[in-house]
């Protein structure tokens, strides 16, 4: 989704902003732009396409000015054109604005402004907002000179419906930026003699690790020397400066070809970080610091309700399986986007969990607010520290896997699987799970990083397999029980980065429709672990083979398949049920990654996708 960066300091703003825009590329975007303020006017460069295109075509880094704003746009209102790209400048050249989010009442505002003589060159809601700020700026009494610009923005935002993260410059105010947020993330970076704004820490991490996470309804007024935070109602806010726990190295490729590859290979360390310090001293259960709910209250919960989107939703389906299996407590899993409008009847003794890597996904955030509005406690599983969901939740658990930059979730997903498994243990041990079963479970979880390493060692073999399958146009991913969500995840990974059509199904469900797709042209990947379902999955494989479908089997070491049944086999170590989904995920990640590399597609920045989806 759209990205924001702003800079005030002693350096030329444009190079800082362009570097920030490069670091925001992973969020997904289709055009980019920058404006700097110099000698009472704006120098602006905007371009549809990649940031590199902006740099090349406009020599943007040569812009003078030590105050500036930059933006990566993910189109909502109006096509992908240079004109629709941000920043937008008001008719009289006084106001420059970048904006994330959607101004829902922009049609009415546009009509009002047109009546006042304003004209518009773009199709965007942002240009309307920009001119409304200008309108209020012109009307604001000149006597309040110091704050005239700030007050004009404040007044404007009171008339606006929708969501926004904005950064605004005024040509009359050298070295000033006003920014505000409602529903779109915004961070203030406090550097050494300089201040920055960003929608995402990644944009400014090369310059500072000290940040203020702005809250909805807050505005920041930055000058070259200081900053103040106020609410839309003009109340003062005391800023809390947090230190980001990761640094620039974590956001670099460090020798890998793509962030997705790097993040797949980081998974053993990521899993270690997720579980560090989270097992009881006696080694029989999990413990979590930030749940903000006592063990006694937790024991009273009769039902868990998980809300998430995309890969995180798949992780919730695995959590459902493990919690019901090991803790014997019913679990409901909802797409956050559906839950918020479904008005589902809820049991009073329900505890909600939201799961979101970014902690900014708008549907998950809105679903959480809906559950809270109805009086339910909501705990959050998030990776990004200080994210909106993390801050608004009643408590929660951080994933601690560092920045995930590849658009396709990998290490965040397996870390969510791990936390789901740990929750199942935590809840199970409060109820019927025995001490010795708890100890076995903990030991199994502790072995997960090493087991993942074993699967990663097969990367060269999986790469060879990928070469043989890259030319297909359709794929099925099939698994049962806790591996059905892994099949869904495998299909999602493949389609989102390679653009090959893929579907995930419970293996036995395949004969109720999807089997019609099977031919020599549609291969299937089967997840075939050792255990009670082994023979049943093998029967499903036979049904595919009988129809000439090619088969890749992800098979537990030690299991044997009938000769000739699988065309290709990737082995995974035999393991405890609680870690099986994690271990089985790694081959499907690698296969999707290598197929995409083989096809020469843009792994880290797949078309149309955004890393965190901050519009509905």
Kindly list the residues in this chain that would bind ligand F6R in the complex (CB under 6 A): 309-312, 356-358, 361, 364, 408-409, 492, 496, 612-613
Which residues, 6+ apart, have CB-to-CB distance to 119 below 8 Å?
91
In three state form, how does the secondary structure of 99-126 look?
EECCECCHHHHHHHHHHCCCCCCCCCHH
Q: What are all long-range contacts of 44-50, with beta carbons under 8 Å and residues at least 24 apart?
A: 44/87, 44/89, 44/96, 46/82, 46/83, 46/85, 46/86, 46/87, 47/82, 47/85, 48/80, 48/81, 48/82, 48/85, 50/25
Cβ-based nearer residue to ligand F6R, 196 or 390: 390
**Which residue lies nearest ligand F6R, judged by its C-beta?**
310
- To the nearest whole angstrom, how small is the minimum distance from the Cβ of residue 24 to ligand F6R? 15
- To the nearest whole angstrom, how small is the minimum distance from the Cβ of residue 495 to ligand F6R? 10
> DSSP letters of 323-377?
HHHHT---EEEEEHHHHHHH-----TTEEEEEEESSS--HHHHHHHHHHHHTT--
Cβ-based nearer residue to ligand F6R, 229 or 244: 244
Q: Which residues are catalytic?
A: 2, 611
Cα atoms in the 13 Å half-sphere on the side-chain side of 609: 21
- To the nearest whole angstrom, how small is the minimum distance from the Cβ of residue 529 to ligand F6R? 23
- To the nearest whole angstrom, how small is the minimum distance from the Cβ of residue 76 to ligand F6R? 16
Cβ-based nearer residue to ligand F6R, 12 or 493: 493
- To the nearest whole angstrom, how small is the minimum distance from the Cβ of residue 396 to ligand F6R? 13
- To the nearest whole angstrom, how small is the minimum distance from the Cβ of residue 75 to ligand F6R? 18
Q: What is the C-alpha to C-alpha distance for residues 67 and 177, in angstroms, rounded to an integer?
A: 8
Q: Do the Cβ atoms of 487 and 505 come closer than 8 Å?
A: yes
Cβ-based nearer residue to ligand F6R, 84 or 410: 410
Cβ-based nearer residue to ligand F6R, 2 or 17: 2
Cβ-based nearer residue to ligand F6R, 7 or 398: 398
Q: What is the C-alpha to C-alpha distance for residues 79 and 60, in angstroms, rounded to an integer?
A: 23
Angle (CA) 523-528-532 rounded to 5° is 145
Q: Do the Cβ atoms of 315 and 308 come closer than 8 Å?
A: yes
- To the nearest whole angstrom, how small is the minimum distance from the Cβ of residue 356 to ligand F6R? 3
Which residues, 6+ apart, have CB-to-CB distance to 112 below 8 Å?
none
> DSSP letters of 40-92?
TEEEEEEEES-HHHHHHHH-GGG---SEEEEEEE--SSS-S-TTTSSPEE-TT
Cβ-based nearer residue to ligand F6R, 279 or 413: 413
3-state secondary structure of 265: helix
């Amino acid at each position: 989704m759209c990205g924001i960066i702003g800079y005030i300091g002693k350096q030329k703003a444009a190079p800082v902003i362009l570097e920030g825009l490069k670091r925001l590329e992973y969020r997904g975007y289709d055009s980019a732009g920058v404006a700097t303020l110099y000698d009472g006017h704006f120098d602006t460069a905007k371009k549809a396409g990649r940031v590199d295109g902006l740099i090349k075509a406009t020599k943007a880094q040569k812009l003078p000015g030590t105050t500036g704003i930059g933006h990566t746009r993910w189109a909502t209102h109006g096509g992908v054109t240079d004109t629709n790209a941000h920043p937008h400048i008001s008719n009289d050249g006084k106001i420059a604005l970048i904006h994330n989010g959607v101004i829902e009442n922009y049609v009415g505002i546009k009509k009002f402004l047109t009546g006042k003589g304003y004209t518009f060159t773009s199709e965007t809601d942002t240009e309307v907002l920009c001119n409304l700020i200008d309108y209020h700026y012109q009307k604001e009494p000149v006597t309040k000179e110091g704050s005239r610009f700030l007050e004009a923005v404040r007044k404007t935002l009171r008339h606006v419906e929708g969501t926004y993260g904005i950064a605004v410059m005024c040509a009359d105010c050298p070295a000033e930026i006003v920014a505000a947020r409602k529903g779109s993330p915004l961070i203030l970076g406090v550097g050494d003699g300089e201040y920055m704004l960003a929608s995402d820490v990644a944009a400014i991490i090369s310059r500072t690790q000290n940040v203020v996470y702005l809250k909805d309804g807050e505005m920041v007024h930055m000058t070259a020397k200081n900053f103040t935070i106020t609410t839309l109602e003009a109340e003062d806010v005391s800023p809390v400066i947090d230190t980001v726990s990761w640094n620039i190295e974590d956001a670099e490729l460090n020798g890998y070809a793509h962030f997705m590859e790097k993040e797949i290979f980081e998974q053993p360390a990521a899993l270690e970080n997720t579980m560090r310090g989270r097992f009881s001293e006696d080694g029989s259960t999990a413990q979590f610091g930030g749940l903000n709910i006592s063990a006694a209250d937790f024991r009273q919960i009769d039902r868990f309700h998980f809300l998430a989107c995309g890969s995180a939703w798949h992780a919730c389906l695995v959590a459902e399986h493990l919690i019901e299996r090991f803790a014997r407590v019913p679990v409901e899993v909802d797409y956050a986007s559906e839950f918020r409008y479904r008005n589902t009847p809820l049991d009073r003794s329900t505890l909600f969990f939201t799961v979101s890597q970014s902690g900014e996904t708008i549907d998950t955030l809105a679903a959480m607010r809906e559950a809270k509005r109805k009086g339910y406690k909501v705990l959050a599983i998030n990776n990004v520290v200080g994210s909106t969901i993390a801050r608004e939740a009643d408590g929660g658990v951080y994933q601690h896997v560092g920045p995930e930059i590849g658009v396709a979730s990998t290490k965040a997903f397996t870390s969510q699987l791990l936390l789901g498994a740990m929750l199942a243990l935590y809840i199970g041990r409060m109820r019927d799970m025995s001490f010795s079963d708890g100890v076995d479970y903990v030991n199994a979880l502790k072995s997960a990083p090493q087991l993942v390493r074993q699967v990663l060692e097969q990367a060269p073999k999986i790469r060879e397999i990928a070469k043989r399958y890259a030319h297909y146009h359709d794929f099925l991913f099939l698994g049962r029980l806790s591996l059905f969500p892994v099949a869904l995840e495998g299909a999602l990974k493949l389609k989102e980065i390679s653009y090959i059509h893929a579907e995930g199904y419970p293996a036995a469900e395949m004969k109720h429709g999807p089997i019609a797709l099977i031919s020599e042209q549609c291969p299937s990947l089967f997840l075939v672990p050792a255990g009670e379902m082994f023979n049943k999955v093998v029967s499903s494989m036979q049904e595919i083979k009988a129809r000439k479908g090619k088969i890749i089997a992800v098979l537990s070491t030690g299991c044997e398949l009938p000769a000739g049944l699988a065309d290709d086999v990737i082995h995974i170590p035999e393991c405890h049920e609680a870690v099986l989904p994690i271990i089985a995920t790694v081959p499907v990640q690698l296969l999707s990654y290598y197929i995409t590399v083989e096809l020469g597609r843009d792994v880290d920045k797949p078309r149309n996708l955004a890393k965190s989806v901050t519009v509905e």
